[in-house]
Amino acid sequence: MNAVSDIANITGAVDEARLGTLVGDLAAFGARPDGGVDRQALTPEDFKSRRFLVDLARSYGAQAYRDSIGNLFFRRPGQDADAAPVVTGSHADSQPTGGRLDGAYGVCAGLEVLAALADSGVAHRRPIEVAVWTNEEGCRFAPGSMGASAFTEPSLLDGFLATADTTGRTVGEELAEADPLFADVPLRPLGTPVHAFVETHIEQGPVMADAGVTIGVVRGIQGTRWYEITVDGIAAHAGSTPRANRQDALRAATEIATGVYAAFDAGDERLRMTIGRLTVGPGSVNVVPEQVRMTVDVRHPEEAVLDAVEERLRELTAAHAGRARLERTMAMPPTGFDGRIRDTVREAARDLKLSAMEIDSGAFHDSLHLARHCPTGMIFVPSVDGLSHNPAEHTALSDLAAGTRVLAASLIRLAQN
């Protein structure tokens, strides 16, 4: 077996047209009139799309498995039946106002690799699997990435199964109700060994499109911290309360927000700071605001920078001592991806003569959890205008195919070890 020709064979067998058809077929489940997709986790549309994927994977000669959180695995056996598999994949659920690619692209790319493997007959020592992780988006059932996190940390399962949506339906109830639809798909335990995990995904930001680069070698996922700042004032009549008698919560909040934006400007290119939500109480045109609550989303690949920004936020709220308070509501440390996987992806792009750049992921992904379980990496392709979680989400088909070829080459390299 010649590794170089194997890689040429498998990447040559990736079929851009077939990939485009699959993306379109998958987008038909939960299609929105505006061209987007509404396929929230564990809805009938989500289950129907999973059944479609099971049948498609089998048509490429793969074995289908599932686990107790509803993750699917499409396995192409390797020459060494007992070796831990090399796994790719992503999620098939979407936001209610989702596009055709967020998550779905990573699943479609994996299936296209299975098709190309079937067509080319390229052999590999380790099994290659495509995973479809349950409920990455977290919009119907919070938190997101339930499938990937329960897989890597099975003790989370019971809590996830009991999680209800706003109508009171639980994850466990939905999975049980859909069980007959997957009766022919054998169950596997959570947390099975994985040799390596590689996920393809759209960037969901404008960086690669702006740079004119096709392949993103993802360094890792930024650390994220969420804060809520509450500012108290005293409600008063807008007409009868002089300036000196006011304790205007929105005025104080505006000063704090100005400081937040200044801290954003003072940071490096990789810093992200967003005040996404701001509510004013009582919120009446002629009442001086009594309370403001606002969120701050801070991201950076370095924990030390996140610490420094948090210190600055504390100073900004302390400047309104007794009236403003800062609460950290979430902290997700930065995740660095495995150096060997990154090298593999970079070399695959180079061999395929594709432009590539190192990039940090600003969004969360299933890979964030897999990275705690096995060597993990991600391949990004550009998002037109950086749009995502939006029906207008788009990536050129040629870029989707390029990412799939890099994935195919990377999986084969990893599966030969």
Minimum gap (Å) between residue 139 Cβ and its own copies: 10
Other C-beta atoms closer than 10 Å to the C-beta of 12 total: 14
The site string for its own copies over 47-66 (x = CB under 8 A, - otherwise) reads --------------------
Residue with tokens 């059944």: 51
HEC-encoded secondary structure of 395-406: CCHHHHHHHHHH
**Separation between Cα atoms, residue 316 and residue 313, nearest integer Å:** 5
Structure tokens at 88: 């790719």
As measured in angstroms, the least distance from the Cβ of 274 to its own copies is: 4
Q: Is 416 in the site for its own copies (CB under 8 A)?
A: no
Question: In the set 34, 210, 311, 327, which binds its own copies (CB under 8 A)?
Answer: 210
Which of these, 131, 136, 74, lies nearest to 106 by C-alpha position? Answer: 131
Which span (5-13, 65-73, 169-177, 277-285) binds its own copies, by CB under 8 A? 277-285
Contact between 283 and its own copies by CB under 8 A: the answer reads: yes
Nearer to its own copies, 17 or 285 (CB): 285
> Which CB sits closer to its own copies, 210 or 315?
210
Stretch touching its own copies by CB under 8 A, among 43-51, 61-69, 238-246, 312-320: 238-246
Distance CA 110, CA 92 (A): 12
How far apart CA 97 and CA 265 sit, in angstroms, is 31
Q: Is 271 in the site for its own copies (CB under 8 A)?
A: yes
Q: Name the residue nearer to its own copies (CB basis): 93 or 203.
A: 203
Ramachandran category for residue 212: left, alpha or beta (phi over 0 → left; psi -120 to 50 → alpha)? left
Contact track, its own copies, 298-337, x by CB under 8 A: -x--------------------------------------
In sequence order, what DSSP letters do the residues of 318-374 get, joined into one string?
HTTTTTEEEEEEEEE--EEPPHHHHHHHHHHHHHTT--EEEEEE-S--THHHHTTTS
Piece of 57-65, 122-130, 293-301, 320-328 that binds its own copies (CB under 8 A):
293-301
Q: Is 101 helix (H, G, I), strand (E, B) or coil?
A: coil
Token pair in block for residue 387: 């749009």
Closer by beta carbon to its own copies, 61 or else 283: 283
CA distances (Å), 174 to each of 70, 103, 292, in order?
10, 21, 38
Distance CA 92, CA 135 (A): 8
Among 31, 83, 181, 235, binds its own copies (CB under 8 A): 235
Among residues 345, 364, 394, 409, which is the contact residue for its own copies, using CB under 8 A?
364
Q: Are 298 and 307 in contact (CB under 8 A)?
A: no
* DSSP structure class, residue 55: H
Stretch that binds its own copies, among 84-92, 112-120, 294-302, 310-318 (CB under 8 A): 294-302
Tell whether residue 297 is a contact of its own copies (CB under 8 A).
Answer: yes
What would the two tokens of residue 114 be?
């299975």
Give the interface with its own copies as residue ranges (CB under 8 A). 203-207, 210, 222, 224, 226, 235-243, 245, 248, 250-251, 254-255, 257-258, 261, 264-265, 269, 271-272, 274-280, 283-289, 295, 297, 299, 361-364, 386-390
